[in-house]
Structure 1
Amino acid sequence: MKVKNYIQLALVSVGLLLTGCEQSFEELEKDPNRAVTAPASLVLQGIEFDMYNNTGRPFSSEMRWNQFYAINYNYYGNNEYQWSEMPNHFYTLKNVVKMEQEAKRSGAADVNPYSALGKFFRAFFFDQMSARVGDLPLSEALQGTSVITPKYDSQKDIYLQVLKWLDESNADLATLIAKGETSVAGDFYFGGDLRKWQKVVNAFKLRVLTRLSKKEGEAELNIKGRFAEMLNNPTQYPLLTGMVDNLEFKSNNFNKYPSNPDNFGFDATRQNMAQLYIGLLVERKDPRVMVTAEPAGAELKAGKQPSDFTAFVGASSGEDLADMSEKAGRNNGAGFAPGAYSFQSRSRYYTTYTGENVFIVGYPEMCFNIAEGINRGWATGTAEDWYIKGIKASQEFYGVKDGSLTMTYSKTGGRDAADFARYTVDFNFDTYYAQPLVKYSGNNMAGLEQIITQKYLAFFMNSGMEAYFNYRRTGFPKFMTGVGTGNSGRIAMRWQYPFSERTTNEANYQSAIERQYSGKDDINDLVWILK
């Protein structure tokens, strides 16, 4: 009986081996422990997280390059504009393709929520990359193994495609909504609400049109016509109506805000506020400075009150890092040594893991973009109205509104409740707005500078590198330079291409570098949209 069983077992084993030999190579190379498919809803979540995590988080190097804060301790980095390769979002774009494929595989129609959002994501990430480097592979990119050395498309063609994707995304979302298909599974930004996503798509298109301001004379881009069409057709192009429509990331105890109780001992005194940001708020007597920053210890020691705007001092990003470190002051083991510079607010950023919501596409920016377009003559309307809406929205995000405002600062440089002291300041928007630096000067260059400056202030710790991109495009506000910013006292104008392109796509890479930058992948050259 045992012999018979052994023979049967052997025959079964041989049969299995023979069956395995009939499998294709593609089947055999699949790893049974690794998934090759995933629900489109799950892929969407990864893409959405990358929008926040890989494009400029709060209190990151990007925010130093925006000159919102500065590092004063070289172990953690520096304030130099010595960039290398751009952030490579092609990995995320591959997931966008996968999301679209999985939606179709599950039986979705050609126009479905994932395909509509996919067009927006393609526009978003190609804009993020092209704004940094210029020409990129696009028309032959994301083709898998069928095209392994894709050609580079011109930056003009890239932005034509970006605008086309945005128009198609808006139209597809409108079609879905009209049919009653108003939600998408897996979305953690809006709980799946496609109506809010449609507003974001159009607000982002206004950002792109504003980004292309130096090319307003390019007939094919038609910046003025596209901008006016959007403002004149609110039904076709719905826009954000307030802060509730923001595309924003909300931290929690798992995905913690970058400045939080866990890292207080590491960076609370090793990164101080930058003078560009602090100085603009102080000059305008803007209470936002009292919400985001602490009064400088040395100024309080000298007798100033925390309610005195001049008690808030930032360090020039161009200052020598060793000098900044010496002036900043930190806990020397015997208590906090008051320093010359303001630090970020302990009560706002180091007593909680949730910090504040981080805008990716926000209502204040949209208001300022509309104001800028009207200032430039792209559309009819009242730029001042949108300018005021943008200021008020940003201020109210920080709790700044008419009345008596309660502010908090740390007396000892600690973060415990016992260390905090409170003070009050009175605020009236009409009084604030009446200041010459704030009141809109009209549709002229002075008015444009005011719009861009207030947009800069509203970008504090959000929207990635948009503050820098606006400075690079307009020169406002003027960034500070010096030995601390490196690069021979220059603000870098672009990133380099991924180093892998020099070996895996060398011919096309070299052609693109020669065509755009005379053969040098230099961070100080101008991309086409800036020329």
Structure 2
Amino acid sequence: MKFINKLKTVLVAGGMAAAMFACTDLEELNVDPNNPSEVPASYLLTSGQKYAMENVWDEWANGRFGLVYSQYWSQQAYPSESRFRYRDSSVNSQWISYFAAGGLKDLKASMDIAMGLLENDAIVGDAKDRASNQYAVAQITRVWLMHLVTDIWGPVPYTEALQGNDVIAPSYDKQEMIYSSLLTELTEAQSKVVATTGVDGDVIYNGNMAKWAKFAQSLKLRIALRMADRDNGVKLAEVVAAGGFIAGNEDNATLVFGSAPHNNPLNEDRKTRADFAASNTMVDLLSDMSDPRMGLYFDPTEASVIAGTPEYIGVIYGLDDNTANNLDISEYSQPSAATLYEKAPGIYISYPEVCFALAEAAQRASNATLAATHYEAGIRASMEFWNGQAGLAGMTRTIAQADIDAYVIAHPYDATNWKTSLGIQKWIALYMQGHQGWIEWRRLDFGVLRSPVAGHDRGNGEIPVRRPYPTDEQTLNLSSYSAGVEVLNTEAGFTGSGEFQGDNLNNPVWWDMTKGTQVAVDSDGNPIP
């Protein structure tokens, strides 16, 4: 896996750093001018942005976890993961890839260097402004990743995280505190944005600070929406009133991958493996709704194309190993080129998501008319975005404007059942953002997701609402881990004993007020009591 190579680099670099302290003045005779000992903040920013997205979008974190738990994809190989028998090693790897092997680590280092420049009175003018932007961009990206981390696990190291040898056993912070701090961090970042200049090393917006300001405010919207059931929407109303969000697909926060070896990690995986296919959960829903995104999300089955009657069929979610391993993949729909072409972007946050968030905010403020307007805008923006991706991928299938208009008319906003109406459309629009699709299902409880047809290999029969902590934490950071589990229980409102308690798949995080009672459906789409 890519993160292993990066971790080796971290360990080797750590060993070199330790060795340097043992050197004498002879080290002055051994300085390589082509390999500076101090890495520029811009390099660390590029590295942090790239690794953060790669480690979220790859086969392991997105493929075997996000896209499977959200049931966008089913597995033709290793189907036990669709039955929630996660590999302890993959959980350990995901944790390490976020905290140690790039991502959060490099972004913090970029912030530290930028802050040093800001505190240096000798740095003035444009150099000072660019350092301010450097800090802001790294901080916004770091908040994006840290927010995902806490939504996956709940209480996690935050205050004491990434302190190196100063804190080798970081404590776990309450998610409530992390949420508050992330919003504060975004406000700080916004205050440091200097719109009249740019920033070096930014591979998301290429230094366009006006777009970074929109990214920060849109991320505030996402965070405030997640906690709306806990604070009765107070922070959400405040954020919405401030405005300044991503206002079109041209503002989307994405990392556009390049040609190999810098290509989309799922594209790279697909070159040698075909472990995943469309899930019947997704295909059946799109089919029932006559959703024209079907042809942009998936390919018709190979067998049906050969027969001259193209059709879309998803692999049944959560098959037993024997059945899955004997599938003929030509009989099932595969992810389309629009989703897996070489330069297909990784998405931090997008305009369609912002539209649906604003729709929900309006509904919570009892403005169903405004909610319907944003809801429709979200559907249109989603279809337009995927039309664009299909074109970039060289696909001939696109969605005609008349079909977009007809779909919007056929699926109007339902204010009476707004969680289902909004939730389903948002889930469809979040395709390929596996983590976010799963998180929104946990929050809005809109059904759709199915219980694995072959049963659950772990858990109590419920669809997971979090990831267990890595076993490495129990070995290397036991005291903090144990305290973190107690915080998890307390924030969920549990006392005494119960089936949802402890470090398991079914213990909900702080903002999840349903306490693990999300509605699941069986293999026929019927609600499970």
Q: For this structure pair, what is the TM-score category when the shorter chain's length is used for normalisation?
A: 0.7 to 0.9
Secondary structure of 2:169's counterpart equals coil
> Does residue 486 in structure 1 map to residue 457 in structure 2?
yes
When structure 1 is superposed on structure 2, of 163-172 and 288-297 the one drifting more is: 288-297
Map 1:386-401 to 2 at 5 A: 386-399=374-387
Structure 2 residue matching 1:60: 3-state secondary structure: helix
| 2:334 corresponding residue in structure 1 | 343
2:422 to 439, 451, 454: 451
Question: For the structure 1 residues 505 and 342, does the alpha-carbon distance in structure 2 shift closer, same or farther, using more than 3 Å as the test?
Answer: closer
Q: What's the CA shift for 1:466? A: 0.2
Residue correspondences, number: 456
Worse overlay, 281-290 or 391-400 = 391-400
Q: Is the 8 A contact 1:69 1:274 kept in 2?
A: yes
Whether contact under 8 Å (1:37, 1:102) holds in the other structure is no
Distance change >3 Å, CA 467–CA 140, structure 1 → 2: same
In the TM superposition, residue 422 of structure 1 has moved relative to its aligned partner by: 7.9
Give the alignment of 1:263-278 within 5 angstroms.
Answer: 263-264=270-271, 266-267=273-274, 270-278=275-283
Q: 1:78 to 1:153 in 2, by over 3 A?
A: closer
Q: Name the SS of the counterpart of 2:468 in structure 1.
A: coil
Is this contact kept in 2: 1:250–1:357, CA < 8 A? yes
Identity score, percent:
24
What is residue 465 of structure 1 aligned with on the other side? Answer: 435
Paired AA for residue 527 in structure 1: V
Secondary structure of 2:246's match? coil
What is the deviation of 1:274? Answer: 0.4
Q: CA RMSD in A?
A: 3.5
User: Equivalent residue for 1:214?
Assistant: 229
Question: Once the 2 structures are TM-superposed, how far is the Cα of residue 263 of structure 1 from its aligned partner?
Answer: 4.0
Alignment partner, residue 16 of structure 1? none
Return the letter of the residue paired with 1:430. D
- Between the aligned partners of 2:25 and 2:366, the Cα distance in structure 1 is 59
Q: Do the aligned partners of residues 447 and 305 (structure 1) sit closer, same or farther apart at CA in structure 2, a change above 3 Å counting?
A: farther
Evaluate the alpha carbon distance shift between residue 323 and residue 156 of structure 1 in structure 2; reply closer, same or farther with a 3 A threshold: same
Residue 346 of structure 2: aligned partner: 358
Q: TM-score, normalised by structure 2?
A: 0.76
Please say if 1:521 is aligned against 2:496. Answer: no
Q: In 1, are the aligned partners of 2:155 and 2:175 still within 8 Å (CA)?
A: yes
What are the equivalent positions in structure 2 for 1:7-406 lying under 5 Å apart?
25=22, 36-57=37-58, 60-61=63-64, 62-74=66-78, 78-83=81-86, 84=88, 85=91, 87-88=94-95, 89-91=98-100, 92-106=103-117, 107=120, 109=128, 112-173=132-193, 176-177=194-195, 180=196, 182-217=197-232, 224-234=233-243, 238-254=244-260, 255-258=262-265, 260=267, 263-264=270-271, 266-267=273-274, 270-296=275-301, 305-306=309-310, 311-326=311-326, 328-330=327-329, 338-339=330-331, 341-345=332-336, 348=338, 352-354=341-343, 356-377=344-365, 382-399=370-387
Bigger Rg, which one: 1
Say if 1:46 and 1:329 are closer, same or farther in 2 by CA, change over 3 A. Answer: same
Aligned counterparts of 1:233 and 1:508: Cα–Cα separation in 2: 38
Contact 1:243/1:393 (8 A) holds in 2: yes
Higher mean alpha-carbon deviation, 208-217 vs 477-486, is at 477-486
**SS of residue paired to 2:83:** coil
Tell me if structure 2 keeps the 8 A contact 1:374–1:382. Answer: yes
Measured after TM superposition, the shift of residue 69 of structure 1 is 1.4
Q: Please identify, of 505-514 and 81-90, the stretch whose mean Cα deviation from structure 2 is larger.
A: 81-90
Distance 2:451 2:24 in 1: 58
Q: For the structure 1 residues 96 and 323, does the alpha-carbon distance in structure 2 shift closer, same or farther, using more than 3 Å as the test?
A: same
Change (3 A) 1:216 1:190: same
Whole-Å separation in 1 of the counterparts to 2:246 and 2:399: 33
Q: Which digits, 9 at most, give the CA deviation of each residue in 1:150-192, with x for residues without a partner? A: 332211111110111112212222xx22xx3x31001111111
Q: Provide the C-alpha distance between the structure 1 equivalents of 2:264 and 2:23, rounded to a whole number of angstroms.
A: 43
State the Cα distance separating 1:196 from its structure 2 match. 0.7
State the one-letter code of the partner of 1:441: D
Shift of 1:215: 1.0
Please report how far the alpha carbon of residue 377 of structure 1 lies from its aligned counterpart in structure 2 after TM superposition: 2.2
CA distance in 2, matches of 1:472, 1:157: 20
In 2: Cα distance, 1:126 partner to 1:265 partner: 32
Structure 1 residues 456 and 509: alpha-carbon distance in aligned structure 2, compared to 1, 3 A threshold: same
1:279 partner amino acid: D
- 1-structure distance, mates of 2:465, 2:25: 49
Further displaced range: 506-515 or 109-118: 109-118
Q: Which moved more, 1:185-194 or 1:317-326?
A: 317-326
Q: Give the letter for the 1:342 counterpart.
A: S
| 1:497 paired residue among 452, 456, 469 | 469
CA deviations over 1:434-488 (Å, ceiling 9, x no partner): 22xx21112x3x12211111111111113x5000001112222431122265325
SS at match of 1:428: helix
Q: Do the aligned residues in 2 keep the contact of 1:501 with 1:509 (CA within 8 Å)?
A: yes
Determine whether 1:475 maps to 2:445: yes
Q: CA deviation at 1:125?
A: 2.5
Give deviations 1:94-143, integer Å, cap 9, x for gaps: 32232123234555559711222233234223212211222223223333
Residue 24 to residue 291, structure 1, CA distance change in 2 (3 Å) = closer
Q: Deviations over 1:366-403 (max 9, x none)?
A: 111111121222889701111111100111122299xx
Equivalents in 2 of 1:394, 1:503: separation in Å?
44
Any gaps of 5 or more consecutive residues in structure 2? 1-19, 490-496, 514-529
Q: Secondary structure at the match of 2:57?
A: coil
For 2:54 and 2:429, the matched residues in 1 are separated by 20
Distance 2:335 2:168 in 1: 47
- 1:24 deviates by 7.3
Residues 503 and 28 (structure 1), Cα distance of their counterparts in 2 relative to 1, 3 Å cut: farther
3-state SS of 1:266 partner: coil
TM-score (ref. length: structure 1)? 0.76
Give the 3 Å change call, closer, same or farther, for CA 49–259 of structure 1 in structure 2. closer
Matched with 2:518 is none
